[in-house]
Structure 1
Amino acid sequence: MANTRPVPLTTTSGELRPHDPYAALRSRNFCVLLSGAFVAAFAQQMTTVAIGWELFERTNSDLVLGGIGLAQIIPIIVLFLPSGYIVDLYSRKMIFLVSLTLLGLATLGLATLSALHGSLWLIYACLAVMGAAQSFSSPASAVLVSQVVPEHLFENATAWRTSSGHLASVLGPASGGFLIALFNGATFVYILGAAALIIISLLMITLRVRSQERPQKSAQPRSLKTVVEGLQFLGRTQVLLAAMTLDLFAVLFGGATTLLPVFARDILHVGSIGLGWLQAADSIGAVGMALFLAHRPPFRHAGRTLLLAIIGFGLATIVFGFSHWFWLSFLMLFVLGGLDNINMLIRGTLTLVRTPDQMRGRVSAATSLFIGTSNQLGGFESGLAAQLLGPVLAVVLGGVGTIVVVGAVALAWPELRRMRTIRESSNNTQTTT
């Protein structure tokens, strides 16, 4: 079992210990978990590029492409309540391992269908299986962090975890596109992704975790009340609810990335190569910020930092909307990614620190669903606004809306405004009765 004894933050003389940016990475079990999460994200990003390219080549239909996201998001919406409860009730390590294996097998199914030019509906079925597996793997991997590192390293571990996720979002699509061109098709991409997922699932067997606290057994342990406790907890926990609200509306209104093809072609006039750089800019900024945050001490004014980061996100969105210079637009997207990473780090660490262990799976599943669906809705909102108002006004108004939401959240939840360190005691006015 991993060492659970907390490491003191001060020396025997009372002096603060120097910050160790690699503290979480010194845990062998955290590195194993981080490898699994990175490979899963990398393989899924490669697969997303491959399936989109292949289906458009086969059908030349925008509607078929839209079905890719739909086939994956429907299982996540349907399963988010039971998946969170199952993650709390059973071994999170085994759930993550099985989910990775299922993802690998579904990807192998895509490889088979690609080689045999199989039915479109069977391809959608494989994507639905991947969505179902993701509804379990996402909350399981997020809360497993709390079982492999002590609480004082949650912030550092979350910084490295978000960094690896953003790195996968940069390298995955690029690798997928390169391999499609190299092997003249998507089949090898699926095979490579499936092999990576199955191998990393075997590596998860070696992961050693602390025991988890499970939900108390009641007369009806699987009642709806037990399953929705995560949502009820979020509703009562003011700081978490405020942080999630900020994230939801920042994503919903700040949908500049959805309209990048329009800006690249019609406003910045940079073509497909420029579009590629623009699409990578926010992920590059996020990786850079994650590495910076991992090397700095924990936040001393976390609430104020979060509010300022979302305000900066809105301002960068406004500048991007007005920009007609490629490098200014690239810089604003870089800034957007970096500021969004601050938001992800604080919200992710808050979720771990402020949530009881026996409820972390349900809270994490709810958070994953809301953030995931807000990405989809944000893209739709940006497209609709651009159709009605034009792309520039749509993006600018989205940035203004984001800043307005920050003001509203700061007024509605003063607990967030006053929050200092993320690890403040849960007794510090974080819940309402």
Structure 2
Amino acid sequence: MEKHDAFAALRYKEFNVFLTIRFALIFAWTMQFVIIQWEVYHLTKDPLSLGYVGLVEVIPAVCMALFAGHLVDSNEKRGLLLKVIAGFSVISLAMFLLTWPAINSNWPSNYILYGIYGCVFLGGFVRSFVGPTVFALLGLIVPRKIYPNAATWNSSIRQVSLLCGAAAGGFTIHLLGTHGALAIVFFCVLVAFLFALMIKKRALPVKNTTATEQKESVFYSLAEGLKFVLTNKIILGVLALDMFAVLFGGARALLPIFAEDILKVGSKGFGILEAAPAVGALITMVICAFLPLYKNTGKKLLIAVFGFGVSIIMFGVSTNFYLSVFALFLSGVTDGISMVIRQTILQLRTPDHMRGRVASVNSIFISSSNEMGSFESGFTAKLMGTVVAVIFGGCMTLLTVVGMAGMIPPLRKLDLQKDVSEHQDDGK
């Protein structure tokens, strides 16, 4: 095996452009999410209204995911990325206008609320294309032999942008108000569009097919991607573990309530709470770039997700701001390990011609866990109370880990050393 180079992917200029685009998009999307959550809770003071934000986004995201993957696999990736960013810019501009006092000063609060929900719903359609497009494009920018390193840096940039976007959302609300904060979001989307123009167009990956296969219907193409994931026990196990852990253990949607009513730290504290998980995940991913998680990967994954559940329980029972920040930091550390492992497996074990569809199935799991997790959090908080809902979610995460470890032995025994060695040897 070649000597490990922690900066291998960063030696490719276009990969650095790609990371800049990723940063700008995720920073803007995260910042917008934080602002929306704060504004919705400010308008309603109802935890269930926060859950609805996740619900209205996940419906179009999941329904369109497989079709989006088919389009990504069938079309040039850079052009699709430009269209996706253009769609995001329209939505961010609409959010900006909705919160402009010069426009909404005489509107009932319900009009603003429903307008926000409508933009979030349209954003779900755009989001269904983001994951498959970015995943497929990454596979074309760097050689196969450095996919693990590229996946680590890609995930690290994701965490940097989540960290900065979450913190910026809280602090800019305090400094500029909702309207001013959303203006920054729109600007960041425009920056991403300009950098996307610097990515070169690439021919579609070639797949050896017969004339009959080339004429197969769109539905056959969608089923092929779904079948690939469902018949691969390792990929399916990793995605399912992540989905259920975040579905039950995600407490992010309830952070406005903790900041306002439980910890009483206001918008500044809200920004810190939002940023804490990303700080933990970022530190973990930087370490992973130098100390890869190739050995005993499955056991490390299960331990990490179990630790995630413990940290969520700790956050739920805490009434001290600093302890709460620490608990969220730990949740980011453990989630960072899970994310690196998941992305590495997908990059290593997915054929080039199926990247869009496999990424779409992945996005279904991700959307189901994140957005449906937001709805689950809001619903259980309304039903049980905010604190009990978070503790319940953490306990369910622990049970999920135990169940997955027993049900899927290949996941428990997963080791990526052989996969990495083979790809380093064959190159690309």
Give TM class, smaller chain: 0.7 to 0.9
The answer for the alignment partner of 1:149 in structure 2 is 142
Q: Higher relative CO (CA 8 A, sep ≥ 6), structure 1 or 2?
A: 2
Look up the SS of the partner of 2:419 in the other structure. Answer: coil
Query: What is the CA–CA distance in structure 2 between the aligned matches of 1:268 and 1:126, rounded to whole Å?
Result: 30
Give the superposition deviation at 1:199. Answer: 3.6
Q: Which ranges in structure 1 are unaligned for 5 or more consecutive residues?
A: 1-8, 11-16, 428-433
Q: Report the counterpart of residue 205 of structure 1 in structure 2.
A: 197
Number of matched pairs: 410
Contact in 2 for aligned 1:143/1:352 (Cα 8 Å): no
Instruction: Describe how 1:7-22 pairs up with structure 2 within 5 A.
Output: 9-10=1-2, 17=3, 19-22=4-7
1:326–1:87 distance in 2 versus 1, CA, 3 Å: same
Which stretch has the larger CA shift, 151-160 or 245-254?
151-160
Q: Which residue of 2 aligns with 1:430?
A: none
Could you tell me which residue of structure 2 aligns to residue 245 of structure 1? 240
Relative to 1, partners in 2 of residues 1:404 and 1:271: Cα closer, same or farther, differing over 3 Å?
Answer: same
Percent of aligned pairs sharing the same letter: 36
Give the Å deviation of 1:133. 2.1
Q: Paired residue for 1:75? A: 60
Partner of 2:426 in structure 1? none
Equivalents in 2 of 1:195, 1:388: separation in Å? 39
For 2:66 and 2:309, locate their aligned partners in 1 and report how far apart those are by CA, in whole Å: 32
| TM-score w.r.t. length of structure 2 | 0.83
Deviation at 1:265, TM superposition (A): 6.5
Bigger helix share: 2
TM-score by length of structure 1 reads 0.82
SS at match of 2:7: coil
Q: CA deviation at 1:190?
A: 4.1
| 2:71 match | 86
One-letter amino acid of the structure 1 residue matched with residue 403 of structure 2: A
Looking at structure 2, the residues matched to 65 and 325 of structure 1 have their Cα atoms a distance apart, in angstroms, of 23
Higher mean C-alpha deviation, range 337-346 or range 139-148: 139-148
Superposition pairs of residues 290-301 of structure 1, within 5 angstroms? 290-301=285-296
Q: Is the CA contact (8 Å cut-off) linking 2:313 and 2:394 kept in structure 1? A: yes
Does structure 2 conserve the Cα–Cα contact (< 8 Å) formed by 1:88 and 1:214?
no
Q: 1:102 to 1:326 in 2, by over 3 A?
A: closer
Instruction: Kindly provide the CA deviation profile for residues 87-133 of structure 1, in whole angstroms up to 9, marking residues without a partner as x.
Output: 11111221112211221233234445555627756665554443322
Aligned-partner Cα distance in 1 for 2:194–2:8: 25
Return the match for 1:105 from 90, 98, 115.
90
User: Where does residue 254 of structure 1 map in the other structure?
Assistant: 249
SS at match of 1:117: helix
* Counterpart position of 1:117: 103
CA deviations over 1:244-265 (Å, ceiling 9, x no partner): 1110111122134444455556
User: Structure 2: which 5+ residue stretches go unaligned?
Assistant: 105-110, 423-428
Matched, 1:196 2:182: no
Supply the distance in 1 between the matched residues of 2:388 and 2:280 (Cα, whole angstroms).
24
Instruction: State the one-letter code of the partner of 1:371.
Output: I
Question: Could you tell me which residue of structure 1 aligns to residue 222 of structure 2?
Answer: 227
Distance 2:308 2:38 in 1: 31
Deviation at 1:21, TM superposition (A): 1.8
Distance in 2, matches of 1:127 and 1:391, equals 24
Amino acid at match of 2:247: L
The amino acid that maps onto 1:105 is V
Q: Deviations over 1:326-372 (max 9, x none)?
A: 43333222111111111011111111111111111111112112221
The equivalent of 1:163 in structure 2 is 156
Question: In the alignment, which residue of structure 2 is the partner of 1:421?
Answer: 416
Instruction: Give the whole-Å Cα distance in 1 for the aligned partners of 2:257 and 2:387.
Output: 10
Question: In the superposition, relative to structure 1, how do residues 303 and 72 fare at CA in structure 2: closer, same or farther (>3 Å)?
Answer: same
Counterpart selection for 1:340 from 320, 335, 345: 335
Matched, 1:305 2:297: no
Distance in 2 between residues matched to 1:105 and 1:267, nearest whole Å: 36
Is 2:342 the counterpart of 1:357?
A: no
2:14 aligns with 29
- 1:147–1:117 distance in 2 versus 1, CA, 3 Å: same
